Chain A
């Protein structure tokens, strides 16, 4: 896995100055299971500006992928149900659109890259066709123009011999090539926002680095990158959202999150990454004891209460809300917020 090297970003444009291209507000997603209603996403709110790279991190089951899929209205219903919330892309709320208007925006203004490129490609259609078919439908392209677009997109993501590759089927490409092809597919409609659902997790380290370099090169593209790998996030994101059992527990610029995590969960998460810059052997890998709460029966108080080392009485009964702590971070933790007031 890649190392955590937090470089300071000098000359980073302030997000407030640029235009917000994606506004997710109070998103609530439930899963109807045999045991009851699982609350997978609980009031997630975030904004992404043009060209900004936002990372959503958290362990599996924390609702990070569900947030992306629900925002694109891709979650299968049943069993899932998006109960509340709005997802505005350039001012248009996807949640209220009819199917036709929704399809005008999906793939064009906002698109998504999945984790497993092999299963995300249809096995019986050529790669080129799948890259261009969304745009072909929206812009009524001819077959030749669609092929040209696919070849052009493959070339842009660094696939060698793009004309041949476009005519091939997904199973004929290598893993890294397939992942590039999927990125080409997501970018074919020239979106403003790209969702990425752990697209490098299934790749080996060198290919992973190549893909990250590629994604970093898209300067103007707003990206929401979901990952459990903080190492990847450190080298890619401007801003980080930490999720825990469906809640946003901390948000802030990547440097601040890594240097001074405010939420005990964020801090524990950072302690659990293997670090190559501490080879002395004194640094032990710390795992977080316990397990996340049952989403079917969320506790009344803080969802992290059971596993928290710094909890106070109030945490058991009152669920903390996201409040600004320090200059740049927002945190949902009573203890961190109390410390901030005291200092």
Chain B
């Protein structure tokens, strides 16, 4: 009961944040360097004041900024993010077609980094100041210290060119494999749903390396956080209480150590989601992954005003929503947050 009310309140609080995000991105976009019109019209059209004026009137750019904003918000509420001057399609349509690939990659990266990070962090804490601890700390330092684009290139060099274990940077599938019918947009999921084993193994093979590269920073962060909070929990007086009651190791680990160690870790994970999105832009570029990151890079190169604004909004939206989700998870884990003191 308590958690539902908490969740509702938290998501209602996200609405003003999203509105703020909308205002800030809109204003920023208006001060972006480079004139999108000049780019759009080319040298000839851009030098003709009449053509420019006609375009400005057509796109509503001659109206006051606040009026433009309300038109923009009005359109947004109807699912219209304007038109991309680069793909000549609706930005919303573009985002929806590129989003699943990024979500699939991001979720794969979080799962990979989360599971391995939690395991490594726990291991390090249990073997505090012994060799597994030193090893995990070295891995964490490397994983979170190396830039994503460099790590991506090195990973390709080793696992694709040298060892041949991984497919090359050719996107989500080999060219000879047909994509599964679109259900969720995530190839690995869709291929399972449509019982296409060829597409499943091929898409899985393609996602492992980029997901590992994208998740590396996250893995380092999660394992370090988990190690630190677990070390704290292992010293906590309530663990001595648990042992004094004759509880077996499994019960202690499952109900006393893990939930308490996860609380600080989850908080950090939430904050790191933003970094993951930034990393997605670079990872997708290195691995030719046809996602939002690639779309953003192309849009920026083309000074595609509407598309850049759309991507920025989407990333902000994902960030605000994931943080709301993380807060709810946090409250679910910790009754002190859920019920107040």
Residues of A within 8 A of B (CB): 69, 72, 74, 76, 99-100, 102-108, 111-112, 114, 116, 119-125, 130, 133-134, 137-138, 169, 171-172, 182, 185-186, 189
Contact = CB atoms under 8 A, between A and B. Distances in A.
Contacts of A169: 335-336, 339
Given A106-B246, A137-B247, 20 more contacts: A74-B243, A104-B246, A105-B246, A107-B244, A107-B245, A114-B241, A120-B237, A121-B238, A121-B241, A122-B241, A122-B242, A122-B256, A123-B334, A124-B260, A124-B335, A125-B256, A133-B255, A134-B246, A171-B339, A171-B341
B255 to A, nearest CB: 6
Contact of B245 (A106, A116, A123): A106
Interface in B225-275: 235-238, 240-249, 251, 255-256, 259-260, 263
Nearest to B257: A122
A111 B259 contact: no
Interface centre among A123, A124, A171 (most CB of B within 10 A): A124
Contacts of B119: none
B333 interface: yes
A297 B333 CA distance: 47
Given A121-B238, A122-B256, A137 B246 contact: yes
Contacts of B246: 102-108, 134, 137-138, 189
A186 B238 CA distance: 13
Contacts of B255: 122, 125, 133
Contacts of A138: 246
Given A169-B335, A171-B336, A171-B341, A119 B245 contact: no
B336 A74 contact: no
Q: Is the interface of B mostly helix, strand, loop or mixed?
A: helix
Contacts of A171: 335-336, 339, 341
Contacts of B237: 114, 116, 119-120
Nearest to B245: A134
Interface residues of B, number: 26
Interface of B: 235-238, 240-249, 251, 255-256, 259-260, 263, 333-336, 339, 341
A76 B239 CA distance: 11
Nearest to B236: A119
Contacts of A108: 246
A106 B244 contact: yes
A163 B263 CA distance: 28
Given A134-B247, A137-B247, A172-B339, A124 B333 contact: yes
Closest 5 CB pairs of A and B: A134-B245, A107-B246, A107-B245, A106-B246, A103-B246
A151 to B, nearest CB: 18
A116 B240 CA distance: 12
Contacts of A121: 238, 241
A143 to B, nearest CB: 14
A134 B247 CA distance: 6
B260 A123 contact: yes
Contacts of A125: 255-256
Contacts of B235: 76
A185 B259 CA distance: 21
Contacts of B240: 69, 74, 114, 120
